[in-house]
Amino acid sequence: MTRDEIKIHIALSLVTGLGASRIIRLMQAFPNTEEIFSLPEKKIQDIPGFGKTIASNISKFKDWQRVEQILSVTDNTDVWMLSINDEDYPPRLRHIYDPPLIIWGRGNAKALSRQGVAIIGTRKPTAYGRGKASSFAGNLTKTGLSVISGLAYGVDTLAHTAAVENNGCTIAVLGSGIDKIYPAANKRLVEKIIDKGGAVISEFVPGSKPDRENFPTRNRVVSGLSLGVLVVESDVTGGSMITAYSALDQGREVFAIPHDITTQTGKGCNTMIKKGHAKLTMCVEDILEELNLDWSTLQMPEADPELQPELFGDENEADPASSFKQKLTKSKKTDWRTAKELSDEMKKLCELLDGGEQHIDDLAEKAGKPGHLLLGMLLELELMEVVKAKSGKRFSLA
């Protein structure tokens, strides 16, 4: 983008009441973004969802000095900025309902597009929760997956720490500006995350304080970056439950570690399992099987005595890694070209799947269409026995 376009994006993010989804609709209605702030209010109100108040806020925006101050942060520090139109913007996040228009970050921007699992939970975990947060995060990084969380006290901090201690990649999503690390006690952890090839990001403009209302908004980014979300320990209310149900809305898999039924801090996990909203998760293998990851994407050590008992479950297997690899082998495809009555769009989907099993987010990226629009066609193809739906929102040719 040009610098003027970047300024427009930042200015729109500062307009009161103008969230990410509305900004995207506004930009779709007026592709020449430089004219947006000079539009008559009545013209803005013609866009569905834009009332008089929001139209007035847009037309009366004059705080260009603050826009320049925000730009100076990226000009004069190691902070970078990604627009939703940038090549390095994470594909999985781009296809959620309300993706951030701009991401500010430090560290490795390409880490945002890696396959990863979000680990979330209470800020005050029990000893059981602390142990599970650390062990699951450590073992997930040993498979080559990244760990995503929100840098908060408790489970989030434990997950990030275990990832960096195992030389893994981890992504921290802030509920404050990128220059306002919260909690401040985690500033050293932030530097370790960056040193290990991870990233710390925020959709809130530099200078934003960690206001309470930012965190529910932040949570959709945590889930949106992930293949799935693991709830380690949570009550029935709070940020972890918001993140878990955001994940369900986004089509992500949700996993929950079971807890003692007398423990209030684990009641949310047990409730989600009981309602069928989360998969009961006892080991990392449960997550990998549900996500149905290809063995080629994993970097798991072939022989790690400390890792194998929890990761594979059966420590008596002669070659657990080989056995697990067989479980992830792709099913044989049929020739989609023999299927009848396929539309051109359906044929395009089949062509994309001809190279092998893919996640809905990857299909959406390659097809240039939102994932929820593709799901209808994929369902129709499944009923025609051309496509096979697999766990973890992955699809292959039948």
pLDDT digits (tens, 9 = 90+) for 288-324: 999 987 544 555 433 333 333 333 333 333 333 333 3
Query: If you write DSSP's letter for every residue of 85-126 in order, what string do you get?
Result: TSTTS-HHHHTSSS--SEEEEEE-GGGGGS-EEEEEE-SS--
pLDDT digits (tens, 9 = 90+) for 13-55: 889 888 777 888 898 899 888 899 999 999 999 998 888 999 9
d(CA 296, CA 291): 14
Instruction: List, as own/partner pairs, every contact residues 376-380 make where C-beta atoms lie below 8 angstroms and the sequence separation is at least 24, other chains included.
Output: 377/343, 377/345, 377/346, 377/349, 378/349, 380/346
Average pLDDT score, the chain: 84
d(CA 72, CA 74): 5
| 228: nearest Cα among 158, 167, 302, 147 | 147
| 171: nearest Cα among 143, 134, 208, 145 | 145
| 107: nearest Cα among 193, 46, 42 | 193
CB-based contacts of 121, cutoff 8 Å, min separation 6: 129, 133, 154, 155, 156, 231, 232, 233, 234, 240
pLDDT digits (tens, 9 = 90+) for 76-131: 889 999 988 888 999 999 999 889 989 999 999 999 999 999 999 999 999 999 99
396: which strand partners?
A: 388
Determine contact, residues 149/155, Cβ cutoff 8 Å. Answer: yes
Domains of the chain and CATH, by start: 3-74 (no CATH), 105-297 (3.40.50.450), 336-397 (1.10.10.10)
Greater confidence (75 vs 132) lies with 132
pLDDT at 19: 76
Confidence of residue 325 (pLDDT cuts 50, 70, 90): very low
| 328: nearest Cα among 357, 362, 306 | 357
pLDDT digits (tens, 9 = 90+) for 365-390: 788 777 766 777 787 777 677 888 77
pLDDT at 318: 36
In angstroms, how far is CA 72 from the centroid of its own chain?
28
Q: Is the peptide bond before 183 cis (omega within 30 degrees of 0)?
A: yes
Helix (H) or strand (E) holding 242: helix 239-249
18-to-10, 65, 174, 205, 211 alpha-carbon distances in Å: 12, 19, 20, 14, 17
pTM of structure: 0.73
Determine contact, residues 242/219, Cβ cutoff 8 Å. Answer: yes
d(CA 206, CA 177): 4
d(CA 144, CA 116): 9
